[in-house]
Structure 1
Amino acid sequence: MSLTVVNGLPAHVLFVHFVIVLVPLSALALVVCAAWPAGARRLGLLLPVLALVTLASVPVATHAGEWLEQHVGSNPLVRKHAELGDGLLPWALGLFVISAVVWWTARRSAPAADGAAGASSSPSVLVRGVVVVVSLAVAVGAVVDVYRIGDSGAKAAWKDNYSKTATQNGG
């Protein structure tokens, strides 16, 4: 197995499914944890680890996609999909960085066992509001980008590659 071919099939087809699942999952977890600090404390290190795995999956899928692009006929739909795919890495990096900030902030502001304030004071309402808005913006941007990339990839793969009428199988 390589990062370009799995069981004789282009690996990109497999790896994109990780991205399709992990980006929206990371985005949702980020927004929930940014808006609900108790949720961030409950998820703990899982939030930034999920975002890190998401970040790592993007260049793996992109690399496999670049290999596939060189092995299929070039057309405008494939080129558009490849160009859109190159734009996802900054969104995934944003998800990771903000997830790490949310986790760190929630960790530092955790209440003590006796219910008193944590070791450091909780962030102000303004700072939390900014973090929620930035988290929401990056999450929406990442999910919309994944949708656009997936839509363009589906069009590149399937446009004019199926019959508009059902075929009869000798039965």
Structure 2
Amino acid sequence: MSLVNGLPAHILLVHLVVVLVPLTALALVVCAIRPRAAQRLGVVLPLLALVTLVSVPLTTGAGEWLEGHVESNALVRRHAELGDGLLPWAGGLFVLAAAVWWVTGRAAASGSGAFVGARWSAAPVRVAAVVLSLVVAAGAVVDVYRIGDSGAKAAWQDGFSRTASGGGDDD
């Protein structure tokens, strides 16, 4: 994918990643901490994580195309380098979302909310799921921030004047 309506696809697809990664991270953490939330969301949690996972290589692929069509400099190379590191975080979000969904689904299928309340809340598996979810969610969100910041710097370096040109509306 290269252009959409004459615009580089990357600058459009990046908005999916910027919204979906933090949204998936938040949903994962809430569902890991509160199994009832995971039961309410059901299959939506892993589906959201899957869409997030798929959006990352689409965006980086479009970014690689764009990288070949702009002047290369250290900022562009740094942005591309950082962008390549997001896929493992998105994969982690997906794996954990699927695991939380599967465990809470099995708990609900056992026919007892007590299983969710008693065994799931006391289980070392839940503690591990919560800790891993927090770590992966934080890592993914921080990585998206770092990638976005580097992309903005690459795109806007020397691209604007710090003083008004006088040609626009002064209000």
Residue 6 of structure 1 is matched in structure 2 by: 4
- Find the aligned partners of 2:157 and 2:18 in 1 and give their Cα distance: 20
Residue 151 of structure 2 is matched in structure 1 by: 153
Residues 136-157 of structure 1: CA deviation (Å, up to 9, x unaligned): 0000000000000000000000
Residue 27 of structure 1 is matched in structure 2 by: 25
Shift of 1:74: 0.5
- Equivalent AA in structure 1 for residue 94 of structure 2: F
Residue 132 of structure 2 is matched in structure 1 by: 134
Residue 40 of structure 2 is matched in structure 1 by: 42
- Find the aligned partners of 2:13 and 2:98 in 1 and give their Cα distance: 24
Higher helix content, 1 or 2: 2
What RMSD, in angstroms, separates the aligned Cα atoms of the two structures?
1.8
Instruction: Provide closer, same or farther for how the CA distance between residues 166 and 99 of structure 1 changes in structure 2, counting only shifts above 3 A.
Output: same
Residues 41-84 of structure 1: CA deviation (Å, up to 9, x unaligned): 00000000000000000000001000000000010000000000
Instruction: Provide closer, same or farther for how the CA distance between residues 117 and 6 of structure 1 changes in structure 2, counting only shifts above 3 A.
Output: same
- Equivalent AA in structure 1 for residue 48 of structure 2: L
Residues 85-107 of structure 1: CA deviation (Å, up to 9, x unaligned): 00000000000000000000000
Identity of aligned residues (%): 65
Shift of 1:4: 1.2
Instruction: Provide closer, same or farther for how the CA distance between residues 170 and 112 of structure 1 changes in structure 2, counting only shifts above 3 A.
Output: closer
Instruction: Provide closer, same or farther for how the CA distance between residues 114 and 146 of structure 1 changes in structure 2, counting only shifts above 3 A.
Output: closer
For structure 2, which runs of at least 5 residues remain unmatched after alignment?
Answer: none
Give the conservation status (yes or no) of the 8 Å contact 1:55–1:93: yes
- Find the aligned partners of 2:168 and 2:111 in 1 and give their Cα distance: 71
Residue 66 of structure 2 is matched in structure 1 by: 68
TM-score normalised by length of structure 1:
0.92
Pick aligned residue for 2:100 from 99, 102, 118: 102
For structure 1, which runs of at least 5 residues remain unmatched after alignment?
Answer: none
TM-score normalised by length of structure 2:
0.92
Shift of 1:170: 6.9
- Find the aligned partners of 1:68 and 1:83 in 2 and give their Cα distance: 14
Give the conservation status (yes or no) of the 8 Å contact 2:107–2:113: no
- Give the stretch that moved more between structures: 125-134 or 90-99: 125-134
Tell me the matched-pair count.
Answer: 167
Pick aligned residue for 1:87 from 85, 88, 100: 85
- Find the aligned partners of 2:115 and 2:15 in 1 and give their Cα distance: 42
